[in-house]
Amino acid sequence: MTTRVFVDERTPDGEGLRVQLSPQESHYALRVRRLQPGASLIAMDGRARQWAATVLSQESRKCLISLDEILNPPSPTAPVFLLVGRPDAAACLELLTGACELGVHMIAFVDTARSQRHSPSPERVARTIQAAMRQCGRFSPPDVRHFASLEEALQFESHLPCVFGDLETRDEQVEVAAVPSPPCRVAVGPEGGWTRDERALLSTLGATPVQVSPWVLRTPTAALAIVAKSLVF
């Protein structure tokens, strides 16, 4: 398994630079991954850059690395914009992890009639996204936003096709759409689903219902299932 560590986003461009990892990243490299001098790893600035790197030394629980070679990001993919009626804090973090790993461009939590009141702190959100980036190797983080209403959220990138997950799609009389390939928007309600008025608003503003399972899915599961279904690698 490739070890990935984060360096300061202000690290200069270039190759052959020596960088002292932060105490947290030094602990991860030396104590969690047990890297020794000469070990290879990948350094990430968490914004857009990565380097092939080498551990140079470990002294007093500090890890010094060399940034050997700049790595090129993969070819950009068409964006997926995910609009989610805010679930509870734990579900928000679960969704952020999966959406980051799937390459979602933007994740927006939306205030809806059945949204939960409490969201994870910005610090917890940042740590969760960083952990997901460390796991999957993504070069840049997703954009995380908040919209105060469903109508406001649906105005975002309104020229793109939009599909929404809906409990009502289990009714055979409801015509459902295929999930479009990116670029697209995906809207998923909070636990408990959309209200009648919200479903009407979604339809009025051009969103179409989709179905990914005959079962009632949790918000993170439904959102990630629809996003995964839209992706073509």
DSSP structure class, residue 225 = H
The phi, psi pair for 29, rounded to 5°, reads -70, -45
* Contact residues for 84 (Cβ-Cβ < 8 A; gap 6+): 95, 107, 108, 109, 110, 187, 188, 190, 219, 223
Whether residues 106 and 184 share a domain: the answer is: yes
Using DSSP, state whether 70 is helix, strand or coil.
strand
CATH of the domain at 17: 2.40.240.20
Contact between residue 166 and residue 199 where contact means Cβ atoms under 8 Å apart = yes
Of 44, 71, 98, the residue at which a domain comes to its end is 71
Q: Which two tokens stand for residue 169?
A: 């799609």
What pLDDT was estimated at residue 172? 47
Of 71, 88, 109, the residue at which a domain comes to its end is 71
For the stretch 20-28, contacts whose Cβ atoms lie closer than 8 Å and that sit 24 or more positions apart, written own/partner, are 20/62, 20/63, 20/64, 21/62, 21/63, 21/64, 21/65, 23/61, 23/62, 25/63, 26/58, 26/61, 26/62, 26/63, 27/61
What pLDDT was estimated at residue 88? 96
Whether residues 99 and 180 share a domain: the answer is: yes
pLDDT at 36 over 50: yes
Name the pTM for this structure: 0.92
Whether residues 128 and 213 share a domain: the answer is: yes
4-6 vs 162-165, strand pairing mode: unpaired
How far apart are alpha carbons 41 and 43 in whole angstroms? 7
Average pLDDT over residues 95-102: 98
Whether residues 35 and 142 share a domain: the answer is: no
pLDDT at 170 over 60: no
What pLDDT was estimated at residue 167? 66
What pLDDT was estimated at residue 233? 47
The pLDDT tens digits of the residues spanning 103-156 come to: 999 999 999 999 998 899 999 999 999 999 999 999 999 999 999 999 999 999
Whether residues 36 and 119 share a domain: the answer is: no
The pLDDT tens digits of the residues spanning 48-60 come to: 999 999 999 988 8
Q: Which residues of 94-106 are buried (b: 16+ CB within 10 A; e: fewer)?
A: bbbbbbbebbbbb
Residue 147 belongs to what H/E stretch? Answer: strand 143-147
Token pair 């105490």 is found at 23
pLDDT at 173 over 60: no
The pLDDT tens digits of the residues spanning 183-217 come to: 999 999 999 999 999 999 999 999 999 988 888 89
Q: Which of 4-18, 39-53, 166-180, 205-219 has the lowest mean pLDDT?
A: 166-180
Domain enclosing residue 173, as ranges: 80-230
Token pair 């890890």 is found at 63
For helices 122-136 and 89-102, give the axis angle rounded to 10 degrees. 30
CATH of the domain at 198: 3.40.1280.10
Average per-residue pLDDT in the chain? Answer: 93
Using DSSP, state whether 108 is helix, strand or coil.
strand
Of 71, 105, 120, the residue at which a domain comes to its end is 71
Whether residues 59 and 87 share a domain: the answer is: no
